[in-house]
A and B are shown apart, each in its own frame.
Chain A
Amino acid sequence: MNNAAKNKLKDNLLKYFGILCTLSGLIALAIFIIDILMDGLQRLDWEFITSLPSRFPEKAGILTAWTGTVWVFCLTALIAIPIGVAAGVYLEEYNKKGALANLLEINIANLAGVPSIIYGILGLEIFVRILNLGGSLLAGSFTLALLILPIIIVATREAIRTVPKTIKEASFALGATKWQTISRQVLPASASGIITGVILALSRAVGETAPLIVIGALAYVPFVAKTPMDEFTILPIQIFNWVSRPQHGFIINAAAAIIVLLGFVFIMNGVAVYIRNKAQRKGQ
């Protein structure tokens, strides 16, 4: 075998190895999804979605869990979006560059890497105990909002950074104030980036379990939450609870609940991708 042939062989080997690596993740996900679908689809019907939890697997439903997830999703969004976007705008547009700015930046990047259970403990101390919110939806949402704030802040800053300086200059040169320039030029131009980041952050929040278990979200809540001060459960906790039961029926229930949770997360990610693609097309 001459050198050229050897190189060609190496080239091909690397190519096939790369394909294999790429597929490994996808194959694992596919096997998982097929397995879940096979277990759960039979159980997934209207009754399952609209039933309260029960001791009997065939009677148990996910009504409290998915309404809890929707509650948490909305409250977390309501808390985290304004704070996160405002902080991102401040850091990018108002904060003077310097040692303090660098420190802030490093800290926010670090916060994004703090394990979620730590946020749970923080939430337990601050929201549940000091602010006396108990194991309520509000306490849980505040905790999750803290958890995803760094992600939203970073996404907002990155989106704002893509707005050309020339646009800001043009706005200033016409006599616009800083806030007018931000609200009328910078934010609209970076909206798609911010929205994408926010959706991805929220879809992470929806899948979080650990911090909410720590603050005291319950697996068995026999009613649908009506106010933010009510106790609650969410889909991941319900799933976690069911898979730890010995009866096979609950395993099936867990699979069905996983399908619902995955559907929710996939739809949100899909929306994020759609918004991003649309913005990219507009940019071209």
Chain B
Amino acid sequence: MITSVIKEKKNSKGMQDKIKQNSIKLESENVGVFYGHKKVLQNVTMRIQANTVTALIGPSGCGKSTYLRLFNRMNDYIDNFRKEGDVIIDGNEIYKKGIEIEELRKTVGMVFQKPNPFPKSIYENVAYGLRIQGINKKSALDEIVEKSIKQAALWDEVKDDLKKNALTLSGGQQQRLCIARTLAVQPSVILMDEPASALDPISTARIEDLIYELKQNYTILIVTHNMQQAGRVSDHTGFFYLGELVEFGDTRQIFTNPKSEKTESYISGRFG
């Protein structure tokens, strides 16, 4: 009798773990970040479901980019960076000892604010992430490069000149190339730091369509200044203000019926 209860408990815990794994991809537990003595983030707790798009919004300097960069440990390069609390991906705390940063970044890709292709050919840009893993076989590279560029909706524009220098592409094409480059490594999470802020409206629309497509296979976290964009592409939205997560919830709820007054005045454009 007792054993069966324990067994049941174990089972249900196993089930829960499974459900958790299936739904929660990224978590942060009371996360705070310091640059030296300056606290730039505090007490951020967030759970992000797999295969969703989560937008992080808020005025400049509110900590949303810092929060984003916690998930692939890009803040590690900042002098005097220190964090408290837990940052968890797939149930693992990613700042604990023994975590290989390089391995982590193969799971968590990133697209930056300004398109930053390498000064190499289009092909080599996409192949880079594979070459550094030691994959140099031409047939394997050809296949993944083509697949990734197609996924990034750039194939038709560049298929005839993959040898061309990536810097000759337009800004919007460069950004899609950067997305292709990220996809080639086959991450499960993609972090986007204002990926369309340097682009014209047409390129922006293409990137947004792409984000919508990618949601099927990836968990996407996107920082944006543009609230209409957050409204268009995201399922959930988190509003940051002065280093704190003020409100986090369904995008529709945040935009139509925010719980916090701060959120409401930011969304309605009263500040920021």
Q: A164-B116, A174-B181 are in contact. Are A169 and B74 (CB under 8 A)?
A: yes
Q: B68 CB to closest chain A CB, in angstroms?
A: 12
B-contact 0/1 string along A168-208, CB 8 Å cutoff: 01111111110010001100010000000000000000000
Q: A97-B79, A175-B103 are in contact. Are A167 and B129 (CB under 8 A)?
A: no
Q: A174-B105, A175-B103 are in contact. Are A166 and B112 (CB under 8 A)?
A: yes
Closest B residue to A174 by beta carbon equals B129
B119 CB within 8 Å of chain A: yes
Q: A175-B103, A175-B105 are in contact. Are A189 and B119 (CB under 8 A)?
A: yes
Q: A97-B79, A166-B112, A180-B132 are in contact. Are A173 and B105 (CB under 8 A)?
A: yes
Main secondary structure of the interface of A (DSSP, over half): helix
The reply to whether B129 and A166 contact each other, CB–CB distance below 8 Å, is no
Contacts of A171 in B (CB 8 A): 118, 128, 132
What 3 pairs across the A-B complex have the smallest Cβ distances?
A166-B116, A174-B129, A173-B110
Contacts of A176 in B (CB 8 A): 102, 128-129, 132
B133 CB within 8 Å of chain A: yes
The reply to whether B112 and A174 contact each other, CB–CB distance below 8 Å, is no
Q: A204 CB to closest chain B CB, in angstroms?
A: 30
List B residues at the A interface (Cβ < 8 Å).
72, 74, 77, 79, 102-103, 105-106, 109-110, 112, 114, 116-119, 128-129, 131-133, 178, 181-182, 185
The reply to whether A185 and B118 contact each other, CB–CB distance below 8 Å, is yes
Chain A to chain B contacts (Cβ below 8 Å), 15 pairs: A97-B79, A167-B116, A169-B74, A169-B116, A170-B117, A172-B77, A172-B105, A173-B105, A173-B112, A174-B106, A174-B128, A174-B129, A174-B132, A175-B185, A180-B132
Tell me which of B102, B112, B131 contacts A170 (CB under 8 A).
B112
Q: B56 CB to closest chain A CB, in angstroms?
A: 17
The reply to whether B178 and A170 contact each other, CB–CB distance below 8 Å, is yes
Q: A175-B132, A180-B132, A184-B132 are in contact. Are A170 and B118 (CB under 8 A)?
A: yes
List A residues at the B interface (Cβ < 8 Å).
97, 164, 166-167, 169-177, 180, 184-185, 189
CA distance A185 to B125 in the complex (A): 11
Closest B residue to A177 by beta carbon equals B102
Closest B residue to A168 by beta carbon equals B77
Contacts of B116 in A (CB 8 A): 164, 166-167, 169-170
Contacts of B112 in A (CB 8 A): 166, 169-170, 173
Q: A169-B74, A180-B132, A184-B132 are in contact. Are A174 and B114 (CB under 8 A)?
A: no
CA distance A167 to B120 in the complex (A): 11
Q: With A172-B77, A176-B102 given, name 9 new contacts (CB 8 A).
A: A164-B116, A169-B116, A170-B116, A170-B178, A171-B132, A173-B72, A173-B110, A175-B129, A184-B131
Tell me which of A172, A175, A177, A184 contacts B74 (CB under 8 A).
A172
The reply to whether A175 and B133 contact each other, CB–CB distance below 8 Å, is yes
CA distance A192 to B35 in the complex (A): 36
CA distance A189 to B116 in the complex (A): 14
Contacts of A97 in B (CB 8 A): 79
Contacts of A172 in B (CB 8 A): 74, 77, 105
Contacts of B72 in A (CB 8 A): 173
Q: B122 CB to closest chain A CB, in angstroms?
A: 14
The reply to whether A175 and B119 contact each other, CB–CB distance below 8 Å, is no
Closest B residue to A166 by beta carbon equals B116
| B72, B79, B117, B118 interface centre (most CB from chain A within 10 Å) | B118
Q: B78 CB to closest chain A CB, in angstroms?
A: 12
Q: A106 CB to closest chain B CB, in angstroms?
A: 20
